[in-house]
């Protein structure tokens, strides 16, 4: 009998992370959801209803003691780690001009989005080497293009892309490391109940994408599942764009 594999998904209580956790659970994985939002984590664990294969650990991934504790909790519960998905991220404050951006806000965004990936990798590597596992980091199309006044988020996600290929070179061949960069993903129905909305997107929202629609968490989860699988055994150090072709579309004002 094939042993059940175990994955840690950071930021797994809401949005894209919840979509990834849900798909991997359905695929037979043990899933340790790591998230700073304890209410969202408890709600997601209850909704996914897989108590024997699901663990939630409230964690601030920018804090090394927190990270060490959550990795130990996953090992104690499931006996090992086969994969790590670094999805935790913040995008606050929104659109503050660089000349008035507080250093604390810059540091918080970098701390969660980039340092969190580093710390989780640091404390999972020894376990992943034993299982010849894989890491997938979640960046963003903002690593390659920007809107005005989004310096902390764009810089953090650019760092995630670079960290991913650096880790791939450092940790191979035992551990494969890849990155996914989602574009516009509609996560509103994947938030905790107090934040969930169901307002319809506009036709023009979908029309901006060459595929004809805005993305969903399932779109990202499908690629992550592939990158963690043996089918992706010859893939490492890559950044996969999951954006419906939006970053390939030239936009001119008529």
Active site residues: 153
Strands (E), 114-231: 134-138, 176-182
Nearest to 84 by CA among 151, 3, 165, 21: 21
The sheet carrying 239-242 orders its strands as: 54-58, 30-35, 6-10, 83-86, 134-138, 176-182, 239-242
What does the alpha-carbon distance between residue 179 and residue 104 come to, in Å, rounded to a whole number? Answer: 27
CB 227 within 8 A of CB 234: no
Residue 176 and residue 232 in contact, taking contact as beta carbons nearer than 8 Å:
yes
Residue 86 phi/psi, 5-degree rounding, is: -90, 95
Other C-beta atoms lying within 10 Å of the C-beta of residue 76? 9
Please give the backbone phi and psi of residue 6, each rounded to the nearest 5 degrees, phi first: -120, 135
- Are the C-beta atoms of 46 and 37 separated by less than 8 Å? no
């Amino acid at each position: 009998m094939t042993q059940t594999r175990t994955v840690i998904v950071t930021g797994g209580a809401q949005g894209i992370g919840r979509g990834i956790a849900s798909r991997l659970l359905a695929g037979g994985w043990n899933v340790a959801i790591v998230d700073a939002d304890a209410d969202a984590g408890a709600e997601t664990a209850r909704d996914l209803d897989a108590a024997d294969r699901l663990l939630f650990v409230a964690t601030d991934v920018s804090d090394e003691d927190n990270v060490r504790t959550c990795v130990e909790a996953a090992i104690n519960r499931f006996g090992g780690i086969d994969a790590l998905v670094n999805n935790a991220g913040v995008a606050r404050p929104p659109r503050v001009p660089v000349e008035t951006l507080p250093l604390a806000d810059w540091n918080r965004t970098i701390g969660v989005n980039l340092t969190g990936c580093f710390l989780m990798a640091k404390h999972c590597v020894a376990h992943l080497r034993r299982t010849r596992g894989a890491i997938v980091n979640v960046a963003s199309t903002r690593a390659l293009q920007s809107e005005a006044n989004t310096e902390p988020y764009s810089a953090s996600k650019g760092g995630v892309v670079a960290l991913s290929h650096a880790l791939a070179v450092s940790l191979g061949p035992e551990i494969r490391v890849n990155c996914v960069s989602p574009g516009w993903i509609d996560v509103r129905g994947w938030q905790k109940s107090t934040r969930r909305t169901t307002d319809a997107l506009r036709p023009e929202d979908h029309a901006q994408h060459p595929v004809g629609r805005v993305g969903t968490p399932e779109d990202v989860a499908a690629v992550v599942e592939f990158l963690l699988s043996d089918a992706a055994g010859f893939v490492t150090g890559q950044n996969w764009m999951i954006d419906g072709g939006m970053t390939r579309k030239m936009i001119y004002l008529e």
